[in-house]
A and B are shown apart, each in its own frame.
Chain A
Amino acid sequence: MKYIDGFRNPGAAAALREDIHSLTAQLPPSDRTTNVMEVCGSHTMAIARYGIRDILPEQINLISGPGCPVCVTDAGYIDAAIELARRGITVVTFGDMLNVPGSDTSLAAVRSEGCPIEVCYSPLRALELAQEMPDREVVFLAIGFETTVAPSVAIIEQAIAQGVENLSILVAFKLVPPALAALGSDPELQIDAFLCPAHVSAIIGADAYTPFTGEGGVPCIVAGFEPLDILLGLKGILAQLVDGVAEVDNQYSRVVTAKGNARAQALMDKYLEPDDVSWRGIGVIPKSGLALKAEWAHYDAETRHDITVQIGTMNPACRCGDVIKGISRPMDCPMFGTTCTPNNPFGPCMVSSEGSCAAYYKYSR
């Protein structure tokens, strides 16, 4: 644990804070805030948990991006998972998905009716359950960004190797770079820099952000999830903005390389192909997700159980879509903290522990 302490050192934080304030004072004059989007939900949580907004100059506006996998999972996906559980198929999921509202109800609600839904910390649990119950069908809810894709697909690889026939995955994988491209070109948003995700970058490599930099681009800094990582990342962003440059800067080099994790990438290429997918609150972004290739249809829950993930319906008052895009802050939503709370969430941003609304509600109401 001593290793982590180095990245939470109060003295180093105070020094970085001074650097950030002095660089901010050197920014070119502007009539609006300097907008930095932290793409990843884990950054959102760390920023809230360590009270980082509190120590930044007012000029710096941190916008929480679409990087919480639960938050961007369409309501229709939840509907499909619920339908599977109601048919008696064992559905295995990360805990965050339990309370996400589908079009009508949630996995937690149907579990209380007796539907077989198991919460896991690792996708491997789904494989174990399939092996323990060979006469039952098991479906793993495979959601997430590049980070969770490889471990989720790895259970299919192991199922094939071990001859496990009763396991499949319901896929809703999302990719970060196409989302950045969509957000970067959205005229409603004025993003001055991206604080790029840590673990996603470990898989895809820092070079993946090169297209968003250079002429007409913005600084893209890869930063870790520890508080000093985040402060260092913000300092790097400000230094680039002061110098008027826009480059990829990998400050998480203890984990992230330029090219990423070749083994994980190979596993993804073997089983998956790009797909046009719907992001909750944003809509369909071309080639922004991954689907199982046709040759692995046996392990694809949609094909195997003859179910189609439709686009679900959302409560029209919910502003999660604008929050995910960074157009609204959570407290700008009329339901925030009143009708929509972690105990009674309407939108996914309030449900997920990494959601922007949950982070704001939990740490900075």
Chain B
Amino acid sequence: MADIERILLAHGGGGQLSRELIDREIVSRFGAGPLKGLPDGATVPVEGPEVVFTTDSFVVQPIEFPGGNIGDLAVHGTVNDLAVCGATPRWLSLALILEEGLELDLLRRVLDSIKTAADDSGVVVATGDTKVVARGQCDGLFINTAGIGDRLPGFELSPSNLQEGDHVLVSGPIADHGFAVLAARESIHIQNGPQSDSAPVHRLVQAASAHAGDVRFMRDPTRGGLASVLNEMVEGAEIGIQIQEVDIPLSSGARAVSELLGLDPLHVASEGRMLMVCSADAAPETLQAWQAMPEGTGAKDIGTVTTEAGRVVLETLMGGHRLVDVPRGELLPRIC
């Protein structure tokens, strides 16, 4: 059996091994666009007078998990941040920090996922960087991506736009990503267990742009889950939000892990879902449009904006009411 190919410190040394790694693994996948010729910086065209610009780092453990890996997560995370700001994602930077000893095949799988996810999201990797650190100085593979998107006309998004009677829509079952990573890390083996929902949401945003003027705010409920996003929206505001437990979409796999570990799915991250607050008039058509799309089949109208200042309230399955609090402490470290 051949030796397993691994990342060596020399792969980051700037010499021949570095050059080979970049040529074989990076340029072969991403070298067609602005990356061609490996300039120090990418020159990219933009459409309008304004762009949206964001960055995010990814340190998820394990690197591969049911339904995805750190690579597609690093693309979707940044693409989705652009999308919920009302932008069409266009350009991505890709910075890799590799630990000495990382299996090259694992790196290849991650880069393949990045390529597939970028193509699916309509973004081009325009610039990048690769560093290698000694064994023990990072945990296998860390990724940073930054993204630039063209601002879509018509969206004026802010939590301060929320008005009593607005509706709260969610684009699909929540919490699958967090539960999938947690189940993988804790070696919880469940038949039909949760699969990460990691996916781009930009098409959902485009579908909603028909009613852009009626959209108050959008956010992807990642770390801290739906509960955190909802609470951030009403914090210090004159309005509140009430959601109905019966309407909150959950996969059976996420429910199983939630029950086993006693974790509230409202506190657990999704990486391919979107939360939108829009006017009551725009809600039915937006929901219908989402439900007709592959990434929105499980979309639901889960609640409304109320006059209960600063409070997020859940109407439970039993007909009672309770506060939806933000998660505290080290619920699920390193899920993205």
**A4 to B317 CA separation, bound complex (whole angstroms):** 13
Q: Which residues of B contact A98 (CB under 8 A)?
A: 329
B262: Cβ under 8 A from any A Cβ: yes
Chain A interface bracket (under 10, 10 to 19, 20 to 34, 35 or more) = 20 to 34
Q: Which residues of A contact B329 (CB under 8 A)?
A: 98-99, 342
Q: Which residues of A contact B246 (CB under 8 A)?
A: 10
Q: Mark B297-336, 1 if CB is under 8 A from A, else 0.
A: 0000000000000000011111111110100111000000
Task: Name B258's closest neighbour in chain A (CB-CB).
Answer: A1
A293: Cβ under 8 A from any B Cβ: no
**A361 to B246 CA separation, bound complex (whole angstroms):** 23
B288: Cβ under 8 A from any A Cβ: no
B259: Cβ under 8 A from any A Cβ: yes
In the complex, which residues 261-281 of chain A have their Cβ closer than 8 Å to any Cβ of chain B? Answer: none
Q: Closest CB of chain B to A261's CB: distance in Å?
A: 20
Q: Which residues of A contact B328 (CB under 8 A)?
A: 342-343
Q: Closest CB of chain A to B317's CB: distance in Å?
A: 5
B29: Cβ under 8 A from any A Cβ: no
Q: A52 touching B186 by the CB < 8 A rule?
A: no
The answer to whether A48 and B322 touch (CB under 8 A), given A227-B317, A342-B328, A353-B262, is: yes
In the complex, which residues 318-333 of chain A have their Cβ closer than 8 Å to any Cβ of chain B? Answer: none
Choose one: B255, B261, B320; the contact of A55 (CB below 8 Å).
Answer: B320
The answer to whether A50 and B323 touch (CB under 8 A), given A1-B252, A4-B259, A353-B262, is: no
B207: Cβ under 8 A from any A Cβ: no
Q: Which residues of A contact B314 (CB under 8 A)?
A: 51
Choose one: B252, B256, B323; the contact of A365 (CB below 8 Å).
Answer: B323
Q: Closest CB of chain B to A314's CB: distance in Å?
A: 22
Q: B317 touching A1 by the CB < 8 A rule?
A: no
Q: Which residues of B contact A188 (CB under 8 A)?
A: none
Q: B323 touching A364 by the CB < 8 A rule?
A: yes
In the complex, which residues 220-261 of chain A have their Cβ closer than 8 Å to any Cβ of chain B? Answer: 227, 231
Q: Which residues of B contact A121 (CB under 8 A)?
A: 186, 261
Choose one: A17, A51, A365; the contact of B321 (CB below 8 Å).
Answer: A51
Q: Mark A1-32, 1 if CB is under 8 A from B, else 0.
A: 10010001110011001000000000000000
**A54 to B316 CA separation, bound complex (whole angstroms):** 10
**A8 to B328 CA separation, bound complex (whole angstroms):** 26
Q: A363 touching B325 by the CB < 8 A rule?
A: yes
Q: Which residues of B contact A48 (CB under 8 A)?
A: 322
Choose one: B186, B256, B264, B316; the contact of A51 (CB below 8 Å).
Answer: B316
A362: Cβ under 8 A from any B Cβ: yes
Q: A17 touching B319 by the CB < 8 A rule?
A: yes
Q: Closest CB of chain B to A151's CB: distance in Å?
A: 15
Q: B252 touching A50 by the CB < 8 A rule?
A: no
Q: Which residues of B contact A364 (CB under 8 A)?
A: 322-323
**A340 to B327 CA separation, bound complex (whole angstroms):** 17
Q: Which residues of B contact A343 (CB under 8 A)?
A: 328
**A50 to B322 CA separation, bound complex (whole angstroms):** 7
Specify which of B255, B318, B319, B330 lies most central, judged by the most chain A CB atoms within 10 Å of its CB.
B318
A136: Cβ under 8 A from any B Cβ: no
Task: Name B251's closest neighbour in chain A (CB-CB).
Answer: A1
A49: Cβ under 8 A from any B Cβ: yes
Choose one: B259, B262, B320; the contact of A50 (CB below 8 Å).
Answer: B320
A53: Cβ under 8 A from any B Cβ: yes
**A121 to B320 CA separation, bound complex (whole angstroms):** 31
Q: A1 touching B320 by the CB < 8 A rule?
A: no
In the complex, which residues 322-352 of chain A have their Cβ closer than 8 Å to any Cβ of chain B? Answer: 342-343
Q: Mark B258-279, 1 if CB is under 8 A from A, else 0.
A: 0101101000000000000000
Q: Closest CB of chain B to A185's CB: distance in Å?
A: 33
Q: Closest CB of chain A to B89's CB: distance in Å?
A: 35
Q: Which residues of A contact B262 (CB under 8 A)?
A: 353
Q: A52 touching B323 by the CB < 8 A rule?
A: no
**A350 to B325 CA separation, bound complex (whole angstroms):** 14
Q: Which residues of B contact A231 (CB under 8 A)?
A: 318
**A260 to B259 CA separation, bound complex (whole angstroms):** 24
Q: Which residues of B contact A353 (CB under 8 A)?
A: 262
**A231 to B314 CA separation, bound complex (whole angstroms):** 19
**A51 to B315 CA separation, bound complex (whole angstroms):** 8
Q: Which residues of A contact B322 (CB under 8 A)?
A: 48-51, 54, 363-364
**A115 to B36 CA separation, bound complex (whole angstroms):** 50
**A131 to B275 CA separation, bound complex (whole angstroms):** 46
A-B contact pairs, 6 of them (CB 8 A): A1-B259, A49-B264, A49-B322, A50-B316, A52-B318, A343-B328
Please report B residues at the A interface, Cβ cutoff 8 Å. Answer: 186, 246, 252, 255-256, 259, 261-262, 264, 314-323, 325, 328-330
Top 3 A-B pairs, shortest CB-CB distance: A51-B320, A54-B320, A363-B322
Given contacts A4-B259, A8-B317, 7 further A-B contacts (CB under 8 A): A1-B256, A8-B318, A13-B319, A49-B264, A51-B321, A227-B318, A342-B328
